[in-house]
Amino acid sequence: MIIVLGASGGVGSEVVKALRDKGEAVLAVVHSHQRAEAIRAEGIEPVVVDLRNDRDLRKAFGRGKRAFLLNPPGDPRGDAEEAELETGRSIALALEDSGLKKVVLASTYGAQAGHAIGDLSTLFELERRVLASGIPVAINRGSYYFSNLDMLIEPARQGVLPTAFPEDFVLPMVAPRDLGRAAAERLTSGVEDVGLRNVEGPERYRFGQVAEVLGRWLGREVKVQTTPRDGWEDSFRQVGFSPESAHSFARMTEATVDGEFPEDVWRGEVGLEAYLAGLVGQQKAPPSELR
């Protein structure tokens, strides 16, 4: 049996689907009884575990030989970084004496040592702790999630795409479905398949292309509205982030814009056009191809 953390979330649910397609038995770890019942209705065995409780999580790990590890995002209305560090420490502690023979860890592009750099620092710390467990570890670092675009649909309907990224900024992106496939591939491969893998979609896109594709689907012009660098932190506060989280997310954005992206990547199949088609609720291709 394969244990999947975050099994009801966007990426975790895709891991579960990909494993079921491979005929694997799955134990879905979720955080609420409501989520558990929804998963049970799909014929998947759930278990409710608070990821901050390493003893209960170790018991869940003990029911399988392999596990997909995902640290859920902290609530940005509070100190998201501290919340993620807490669950990360618990996940790593739960690996001790768990009996697991291999784990696949979901991480992110740009993960690096430091403090207050959002997911970049919290996931790097989790990588470090999981590697220290002695269990064979496959780390999948995902690029910018297409699902981050979900919140931009309503502004796009008004003709605006608000973002910190310049219109011509080229960004690696990936769909949750491809992240799920990439994880399932390594969860079912040999224990020698370990180490770092970078996961992207089929190509990279300018943020201006996001506006172009959304404009075609919505039948109107959509313009990129880039927030100046000195306004990033304030923009996060305006949407309800705490001062700590606003500072951390602004620094993460800065690291992304100023950083370099890897060239050695595992490429998925879902592109920008297909993802936005599903997001807007359309089924057929728009009148012109993505430029």
| Amino acid found at 69 | L
Write down the pLDDT at residue 280: 85
Residue 288 is predicted with a pLDDT of 42
The DSSP code for 228 is: P
Along the chain (291 residues), what's the average pLDDT of each consecutive run of 10 residues? Answer: 95 96 96 93 95 97 97 95 96 97 98 95 98 97 95 94 95 97 98 98 96 93 96 95 97 95 96 91 46 32
What the chain holds in terms of domains, given with CATH numbers, is 2-144+174-200 (3.40.50.720)
Rounded CA-CA distance 267/24 in Å is 23
Our measurement of the distance from residue 112's CA atom to the centroid of its chain's CA atoms, rounded to an integer in Å, reads 16
Dist. CA 97–CA 59, nearest whole Å:
10
Q: What is the pLDDT of residue 164?
A: 95
In the block, residue with structure tokens 């790097």: 124
- Predicted TM-score (pTM) of the model is 0.93
215, two tokens:
């404009």
pLDDT of residue 285: 45
Q: Sort 210 into a burial class: Cβ within 10 Å, 0-12 / 13-18 / 19+.
A: buried
